[in-house]
Structure 1
Amino acid sequence: MALDDAIAISALQHYAYCPRQYALIHVEQVWAENRFTAEGRVLHERVDSGMAEQRRHIRYERGVMLRSDRYRLVGKMDLLEIEGGKEPAYRPVEYKRGKPKVQDWDRIQLCAQAMCIEEMRDVVIGEGAIWYWEVRRRELVPIDDRLREITIFTIEQAHALLAEGRTPPPIDDKKRCRACSLFNLCEPDRFRKDGSARYIRELFKT
């Protein structure tokens, strides 16, 4: 059965990074690519093209399709590791082109993947991992209560913004704006100078 109001799991990373970026992509349906997004796309194409395989007691499933009726999510994950045993351990693995971040942007996406797997396969997932291409390092991520709460909150906010169909004003982090492929379409500096942006920000402040 189709989920007509489902959002893409990858969209959660967009929302966590910047709600305006999320709205531009998923409400206004605009997109622009830069070097970072191009490198990320190529990386994911390489990962998704691999076949499932078994190495000793671990099975690797690539390009796994995901959905959650509970959270109204759909998407595709890069890699699912299933470690055999009396009670198999499931570990989602997400590939990112950059490097580890203090913020939870990437971890929210990974946690949402884990929650989908839990719903689809009736299992409990305790950890996942993110492979960062730039530093060639794998970061283990506990799928704990804190991360689950943040992820569920992000899912709820992303659904709400999509339902409202509005595009919020730019965030205040100019460094984050400069790294965004939508910088020229977003025009954050223009909207920051416009006094109406501050008014709108206060109007929708919760």
Structure 2
Amino acid sequence: MYSEDDLVMISALQHYLFCPRQCALIHIEQQWTENIYTAEGQAMHERVHSVGKESRRQIKVEFDLPLRSLQLGLVGRGDIVEFHLQDDGSWQPFPVEYKRGRPKKDNCDKVQLCAQGISLEEMLAVEVPSGALYYGKKKRRVEIPFTPELRQETKETANKVHQLLSSGITPPPSYDDRCENCSLFAECLPETVRKKGKVARYMQTILRL
């Protein structure tokens, strides 16, 4: 169980799974730079958050809902949390997270959403079996069941994020295809790794001659 002073942002889990160095740059070094992708994502979230509340007979909708889990040591806000009326008269929470792009090959978005579900379970003392990711490029929802495997990955990722931030150490850069679209490309300088590798291979070639 974590204390209030130990809480980290739920979004840090998504940042960590995308790239631990990016997570450290944002949450340790407090670096952030907008690019077209982050600007589009921010605009989407602002439109969602500006709605406030919505109510229908079978569904109540809360926008920009504060979330917290002392179990995982997380705090944040849910883009949308729907409350679905059940047959027994109770309301079933269903978190919905908005993303500007397309579904990803890894679980970084799913883990972020699952962390919201676990937070709602802790806050409201109810079971939250699933949620949904809404992708702007596809303009549709993808329902995500909170399986035992996804819950375990979420808990392990939260632990890793806490360890990283507690260490205060930013991991060294590594270059791959994701780097080109990262808003922190200039701050991270991942190409220095690739250039060093080229220089090392060149020197090895010279020494063998």
Q: Distance in 2 between matches of 1:122 and 1:32?
A: 38
Q: After the TM superposition, which residues 101-112 of structure 1 pair with which residues of structure 2 at under 5 Å, given as runs?
A: 101-112=104-115
Gaps of 5+ in 1: 196-206
**Normalized against structure 2, the TM-score is what?**
0.89
Asked whether the 8 Å contact 1:59–1:81 carries over to 2, the reply is yes
Equivalent residue, structure 1, for 2:186? 184
Asked whether the 8 Å contact 1:62–1:78 carries over to 2, the reply is yes
SS of equivalent to 2:4: coil
> Shift in Å at residue 192 of structure 1?
4.5
Q: Residue 146 of structure 1 is aligned with which of 144, 149, 154?
A: 149
Equivalent residue, structure 1, for 2:33? 32
Q: Residue 128 of structure 1 is aligned with which of 124, 127, 131?
A: 131
Q: Distance in 2 between matches of 1:157 and 1:192?
A: 26
Moved more, 16-25 or 64-73: 64-73
Q: Distance in 1 between matches of 2:52 and 2:74?
A: 25
> Shift in Å at residue 124 of structure 1?
0.6
Q: Distance in 1 between matches of 2:172 and 2:108?
A: 19
Q: After the TM superposition, which residues 83-94 of structure 1 pair with which residues of structure 2 at under 5 Å, given as runs?
A: 83-85=84-86, 86=88, 87-94=90-97
Equivalent residue, structure 2, for 1:159? 162
Taking only the aligned residue pairs, the percentage that are identical comes to 48
Determine whether 1:78 maps to 2:79. Answer: yes
Equivalent residue, structure 1, for 2:202? none
Asked whether the 8 Å contact 2:81–2:93 carries over to 1, the reply is yes
Determine whether 1:113 maps to 2:116. Answer: yes
Counterpart amino acid of residue 51 in structure 2: G
Counterpart amino acid of residue 184 in structure 1: A
Q: Distance in 1 between matches of 2:47 and 2:24?
A: 28
Q: Distance in 2 between matches of 1:136 and 1:54?
A: 22
Q: Distance in 2 between matches of 1:43 and 1:123?
A: 29
Q: Distance in 1 between matches of 2:74 and 2:52?
A: 25
Asked whether the 8 Å contact 1:170–1:192 carries over to 2, the reply is no
> Shift in Å at residue 51 of structure 1?
1.9
Equivalent residue, structure 1, for 2:101? 98
Q: Distance in 1 between matches of 2:127 and 2:196?
A: 48
Determine whether 1:64 maps to 2:33. Answer: no
SS of equivalent to 1:4: helix
**Normalized against structure 1, the TM-score is what?**
0.90
Equivalent residue, structure 2, for 1:175? 177
Asked whether the 8 Å contact 1:6–1:73 carries over to 2, the reply is yes
Equivalent residue, structure 1, for 2:9? 8
> Shift in Å at residue 5 of structure 1?
1.6
Kindly report the root-mean-square deviation, in angstroms, between the aligned alpha carbons of the 2 structures: 1.3
> Shift in Å at residue 143 of structure 1?
0.6
Q: Distance in 2 between matches of 1:89 and 1:190?
A: 49
Counterpart amino acid of residue 179 in structure 1: N
Looking at CA atoms only, which structure, 1 or 2, has the larger radius of gyration? 2
SS of equivalent to 2:172: coil
Residues 41-95 of structure 1, C-alpha deviation per residue, up to 9 Å, x if partnerless? 0100110111211122011111100111111111001000110121422110000
Counterpart amino acid of residue 159 in structure 1: H
Q: Distance in 1 between matches of 2:194 and 2:115?
A: 32
